[in-house]
Amino acid sequence: MDATDQPSLPDAESASETRAATPSVTALVVAHEPGEWFEETIESLFTQDYPRLDIMVIDAAGEPDLAERLRKIAPDATLLDASDTSGFAAAANTALETDLNSAFLLICHDDVALASDVVRTLVTESLRSNAGITGPKLVAWDNPEQLQHVGLVADRFAVTGEVVEPAELDQEQYDTVTDVFVVPTACLLVRTTLFRELSGYDSVITRRGEDVDLCWRAQLKGARVIVAPDALVRHREQLVERTGVDDIRRTRARHQTRTVMVNSSRASLFFTLPLMVALALGELCIALVTMRFAHVRDVIHAWTWNIGRLSEIRRRRKFVRSVVKASDTDVRALQQLGSVRINAFIRGQIGRGERHFGNELVSAMQTGTSRFAVLSWVLVVVFVLFGSRQLLTSGPAAVGDFAAFPSSAGELVSDWWSGWVHRDLGSAAAVPTGYGLAGITAWLLGGSSGFVRTWLVLGPVFVGLVGAWRLLAATGSRRAQIAALVGYTALPLAWGSIAAASMPGLIGFALSPWLLAGAFRIQGSAPHRVATGAVRGIVRSSIGLGTAIGLGIIFEPTASIIVPIVFAGVLVGSLIAVHPVGAHRLVGAAPLVVLIGALVSLPQTIDLVGSNFSWDVFAGGRTGSASTISLQELTRFSVGPDATEPLVWLLGVSCLVPLLLGRSWRFDLGVRLWTVALSSWGVALVASRGLLDFGLADPALLIAPAAAAVAGLLGLAAVTVEHDLRRAGFGWRQTLVPVALVAAVAGSLPTLGLIESGRWGLARQGFEEAMPFISPGVDGSYRVVWVGAPEILPAEGRSLSGGLAWVATLDGLPTVTDRTIAPDAGSADLMVDVLDSVMAGSTQRSGRLFGGLGVRYVVLLDRLAPAPFSSESQARPIPGVVVEAFGRQLDLRQIVGSNSAMRVYENTEWTSVRAAVVAGFDQGVTELADLGIEPLAGTIGVLSGTGHDITGSIPDGTEILVSQTPDTNWVLRVEGDEAPRRIANGWSYAFVPESGGEAHLSYETPFSHRAAVVAQLAVLILLAVDRLRRQFWGTRP
**pLDDT tens digits along 906-963:** 999 999 999 999 988 888 888 888 888 888 877 899 998 888 889 999 999 899 999 9
Q: How confident is the model at residue 881 (pLDDT cuts 50, 70, 90)?
A: very high
Strands in 634-762 per DSSP E? none
**pLDDT at residue 228 in the model:** 95
**pLDDT at residue 725 in the model:** 67
Q: How confident is the model at residue 243 (pLDDT cuts 50, 70, 90)?
A: low
788-800 core/surface letters (b: 16 or more CB in 10 A; e: else): bbbbbbbbbbbbb
Q: Which of 194-198, 211-215, 751-755 has the lowest average pLDDT?
A: 751-755
866 within 8 A of 899, measured Cβ to Cβ: yes
894 within 8 A of 904, measured Cβ to Cβ: yes
**pLDDT at residue 359 in the model:** 36
H helix or E strand, kind and range, residue 28: strand 25-31
**pLDDT at residue 883 in the model:** 94
143 within 8 A of 115, measured Cβ to Cβ: no
Mean pLDDT, rounded, of the chain: 86
Q: What is the pLDDT of residues 334-367, one digit of tens each?
A: 888 877 776 665 444 443 333 333 333 333 334 4
Q: Which of 143-152, 1000-1009, 1020-1029 has the lowest average pLDDT?
A: 1020-1029
**pLDDT at residue 8 in the model:** 37
**pLDDT at residue 291 in the model:** 66
**Which phi and psi (to 5°) does residue 134 adopt?**
-130, 135
Choose among 442, 356, 311: nearest CA to 166: 356
Q: Are strands 53-59 and 78-81 parallel, antiparallel or unpaired?
A: parallel
Q: What is the pLDDT of residues 218-238, one digit of tens each?
A: 999 999 999 999 999 999 988
Which residues pair with residue 906 across a beta bridge? 857, 893
One-letter amino acid identity for 345? F
Cα 24 from chain centroid (whole Å): 59
Residue 290 has pLDDT above 90, yes or no: no
One-letter amino acid identity for 782? Y
Q: Under 8 Å CB-to-CB from 780, ≥6 apart: which residues?
A: 912, 913, 914, 915, 940, 941, 942, 943, 944
Q: Which of 382-386, 475-479, 507-511 has the lowest average pLDDT?
A: 475-479
Q: Under 8 Å CB-to-CB from 376, ≥6 apart: which residues?
A: 482, 485, 486
Sign of the dihedral through C-alpha 639, 643, 649, 650: negative
Region 543-555: mean pLDDT is 92
Residue 4 has pLDDT above 50, yes or no: no
Compute how many other C-beta atoms are within 10 angstroms of the C-beta atom of residue 665. 21
Residue 249 has pLDDT above 70, yes or no: yes
**Which phi and psi (to 5°) does residue 170 adopt?**
-85, 110
Residue 34 has pLDDT above 80, yes or no: yes
CATH level 2 (architecture), domain 23-364: Alpha-Beta Complex (3.90)
Sign of the dihedral through C-alpha 198, 203, 207, 213: negative
Region 1020-1037: mean pLDDT is 70
Q: Which of 222-231, 447-456, 624-633, 822-831 has the lowest average pLDDT?
A: 624-633
Please tell me the distance from the alpha carbon of residue 714 to that of residue 458, in angstroms, as a whole number: 24
Please tell me the distance from the alpha carbon of residue 999 to that of residue 950, in angstroms, as a whole number: 8
Q: Under 8 Å CB-to-CB from 194, ≥6 apart: which residues?
A: 132, 133, 218, 221, 223
**pLDDT at residue 210 in the model:** 93
Does the bond joining 879 to the residue before it have cis omega, within 30 degrees of 0?
A: no
**pLDDT at residue 729 in the model:** 52
Q: How confident is the model at residue 525 (pLDDT cuts 50, 70, 90)?
A: confident
Q: How confident is the model at residue 20 (pLDDT cuts 50, 70, 90)?
A: low
pTM exceeding 0.85: no
> What dihedral angle (degrees, nearest 10) is formed by the CA atoms of 94, 100, 104, 107?
-20
**pLDDT at residue 665 in the model:** 85
Cα 258 from chain centroid (whole Å): 27
Residue 1037 has pLDDT above 50, yes or no: no
Region 653-673: mean pLDDT is 88
Domain ranges in the chain?
Answer: 23-364, 386-396+448-755, 914-1008
Region 512-532: mean pLDDT is 82
Q: How confident is the model at residue 531 (pLDDT cuts 50, 70, 90)?
A: very low
**pLDDT at residue 83 in the model:** 84
**Which phi and psi (to 5°) does residue 115 adopt?**
-65, 160
Q: What is the pLDDT of residues 851-861, one digit of tens each?
A: 999 999 999 99
Please tell me the distance from the alpha carbon of residue 78 to that of residue 67, in angstroms, as a whole number: 9
Please tell me the distance from the alpha carbon of residue 110 to that of residue 113, in angstroms, as a whole number: 9
